[in-house]
């Protein structure tokens, strides 16, 4: 049989495009840089949304919605912010056949328009903290688009908060980073992200501190999976978000913003995929078990098994398309990365059993019908753990400790470089950037998050990035 996908080792970007197409995840839209997310790809995003949204709400934030169109003057109120986003803006100048009195910007991020509302809503310390999240689409004009990684329009969540003190804002930004993003990416996506602090050069426009979660992809590059920002009082001053303190004084609020996007779907593919397609962690999988009818006469038994597993909370899909060749269906489910397949055929049923096939490792196990539920439960738990361990081993094997800029560039050809920030510094960072290598984040030697970039034991993780 002809190969379905380009092997990763032969051409990783081509492999990625093959997976998107063959697993029916996403495709290019008619306008350059836009994308159509197909139902299976969107099902992955819906599961991500649900898991992240639950964690955001547990952290006290509430969902709201703000306009897609933002007055151009709003962006100009915070100088660093507009300068940082200016090359990516899509601006509307004509509406209803007439030139607009003021151009409007299609939402690249919502700090400005949300803060205009915060200025009205925040009056007293009793109104704080104000914790708001939005699920929306955004537009950033992308010069080098890549599906589910960098597109002109993409889907995301963006959180925006206002606090009475700098420490409260700082603590909340870290809480989102750890309890929402890191917890989700590690425990659900099974991705070993490196959590660190961005350098001043890589900081979000208008922020005083940006914290990030960096993922190593299958070809050794880096992908930023989510960020949490301390904004200080920059936007509060620009939009006059002030509050009355208990002592009767007026003070500006301290703020945060934070976001994750459909890029997480791309990261999932690039970190867990293999030459047979996608591998989806069981906790995330929209379909955890595909029950495949080998021949039509096994349909009734397969349907009963499907009902049994579904009633126990397992996400199941019954594939009873007996008119489609069995081999083709098995390959399709493998491409989609469904954790488990249960193959139900007349011969196995005659012996009161089915065949359990695990996507991770590909092992086939004849399993008694009475033991399918227990076997499925065990396999889902084991494979969630194993998928994380696989990704962690692959990442750690490609992180190289180096001492010079030249060595860092060489290491970044196949993986990540790690070296003391005190030896690299801003000058070395600039030299790396000239050779298309960036400092992805700063991390303490013990793996914890540094308070500043000036601490003596801070390490810089450097890589080429998507």
* Mean pLDDT calculated for residue range 124-148: 96
Q: How confident is the model at residue 178 (pLDDT cuts 50, 70, 90)?
A: very high
pLDDT at residue 85 greater than cutoff 90: no
Q: Who's near 408: CB < 8 A, 6+ residues apart?
A: 402, 417, 419, 424, 432, 437, 462
Give domain 399-463's CATH number out of 1.10.630.10, 3.30.110.30, 3.30.70.1450, 3.50.50.60.
3.30.110.30
Q: How confident is the model at residue 81 (pLDDT cuts 50, 70, 90)?
A: low
Q: Tens of pLDDT along 287-327?
A: 999 999 999 999 999 999 999 999 999 999 999 998 999 99
Query: How many CA atoms lie less than 13 Å away from 451 in the CB half-sphere?
Result: 4
Confidence (pLDDT) at 358: 98
User: From CA 279, how far away is CA 338, in angstroms rounded?
Assistant: 7
User: From CA 317, how far away is CA 183, in angstroms rounded?
Assistant: 28
Please tell me what DSSP assigns to residue 303: H
Q: Tens of pLDDT along 323-335?
A: 999 999 999 999 9
Confidence (pLDDT) at 228: 98
pLDDT at residue 1 greater than cutoff 90: no
Residue 143, φ and ψ in degrees, nearest 5? -80, -30
Q: Tens of pLDDT along 91-123?
A: 999 999 999 999 999 999 999 999 999 999 999
Neighbours of 11 (CB within 10 A): 13
Confidence (pLDDT) at 79: 67
Confidence (pLDDT) at 147: 97
Confidence (pLDDT) at 302: 97
284 contacts 291 by C-beta, under 8 angstroms? no
**CATH code of the domain occupying 12-272:** 3.30.930.10
In which residue ranges of the chain is CATH 3.30.930.10 found?
12-272
* Mean pLDDT calculated for residue range 182-189: 98
Confidence (pLDDT) at 229: 97
In which residue ranges of the chain is CATH 3.40.50.800 found?
289-380
pLDDT at residue 454 greater than cutoff 90: no
Burial class for 141, CB neighbours closer than 10 Å (0-12, 13-18, 19+): middle
Confidence (pLDDT) at 82: 62
160 contacts 257 by C-beta, under 8 angstroms? yes
Please tell me what DSSP assigns to residue 448: P
pLDDT at residue 226 greater than cutoff 80: yes
Annotation: CATH topology of 289-380: Rossmann fold (3.40.50)
Q: Tens of pLDDT along 190-211?
A: 999 999 999 999 999 889 999 9
Please tell me what DSSP assigns to residue 178: I
User: From CA 231, how far away is CA 347, in angstroms rounded?
Assistant: 64
* Mean pLDDT calculated for residue range 223-231: 98
The pTM for the full model equals 0.96
Q: Tens of pLDDT along 261-291?
A: 999 999 999 999 999 999 999 999 999 999 9
Q: Tens of pLDDT along 348-391?
A: 999 999 999 999 988 899 999 999 999 999 999 999 999 999 99
DSSP 404-421: SHHHHHHHTTTSEEEEEH
Percent of the chain with pLDDT over 90: 93
Structural tokens at position 151: 């597109």
């Amino acid at each position: 049989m002809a190969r379905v996908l380009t092997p990763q080792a032969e051409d990783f970007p081509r492999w990625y495009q093959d997976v998107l197409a063959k697993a029916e995840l996403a495709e290019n839209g008619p306008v350059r840089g836009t994308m159509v997310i197909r139902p299976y790809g969107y099902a992955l995003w819906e599961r991500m949304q649900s898991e992240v949204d639950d964690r955001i709400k547990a952290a006290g934030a509430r969902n709201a919605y703000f306009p897609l169109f933002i007055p151009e003057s709003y962006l100009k109120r915070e100088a660093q912010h507009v300068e940082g986003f200016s090359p990516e803006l899509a601006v509307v100048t004509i509406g209803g056949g007439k030139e607009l009195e003021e151009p409007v910007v299609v939402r690249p991020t919502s700090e400005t328009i949300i803060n205009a509302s915060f200025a009205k809503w925040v009056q007293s310390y009793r109104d704080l903290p104000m914790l708001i999240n939005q699920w929306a689409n955004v537009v950033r004009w992308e010069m080098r688009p890549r599906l589910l990684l960098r597109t002109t329009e993409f889907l995301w969540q963006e959180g925006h908060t206002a606090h009475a003190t700098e420490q409260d804002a700082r603590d909340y930004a870290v809480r989102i980073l750890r309890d929402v993003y890191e917890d989700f990416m590690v425990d659900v996506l099974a991705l070993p992200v490196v959590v660190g602090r961005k350098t001043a050069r890589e900081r979000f426009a208008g922020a005083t501190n940006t914290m990030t979660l960096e993922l190593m992809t299958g070809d050794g590059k880096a992908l930023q999976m989510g960020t949490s920002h301390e904004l200080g009082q920059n936007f509060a001053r620009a939009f006059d978000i002030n509050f009355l303190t208990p002592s009767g004084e007026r003070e500006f609020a301290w703020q945060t913003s934070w976001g994750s996007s459909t890029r997480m779907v791309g990261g999932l593919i690039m970190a867990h995929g293999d030459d047979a397609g996608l591998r989806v962690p069981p906790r995330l999988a929209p379909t955890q078990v595909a029950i495949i009818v080998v021949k039509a006469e096994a349909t009734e038994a397969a349907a009963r098994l499907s009902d049994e597993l579904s009633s126990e909370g397992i996400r199941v899909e019954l594939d009873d398309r007996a008119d489609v060749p069995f081999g083709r269906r098995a390959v399709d489910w493998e491409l989609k990365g469904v954790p488990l397949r249960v193959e139900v055929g007349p011969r196995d049923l005659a012996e009161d059993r089915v065949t359990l096939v695990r996507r991770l490792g590909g092992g086939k196990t004849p399993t008694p019908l009475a033991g399918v539920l227990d076997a499925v439960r065990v396999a889902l738990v084991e494979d969630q753990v194993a998928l994380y361990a696989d990704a962690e081993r692959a990442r750690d094997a490609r992180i190289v400790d180096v001492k010079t800029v030249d060595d860092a560039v060489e290491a970044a050809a196949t993986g990540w470089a790690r070296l003391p920030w005190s030896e690299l510094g801003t000058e070395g960072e600039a030299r790396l950037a000239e050779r298309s290598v960036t400092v992805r984040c700063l991390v303490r030697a013990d793996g914890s998050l540094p308070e500043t970039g000036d601490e003596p034991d801070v390490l810089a993780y450097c890589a080429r990035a998507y």
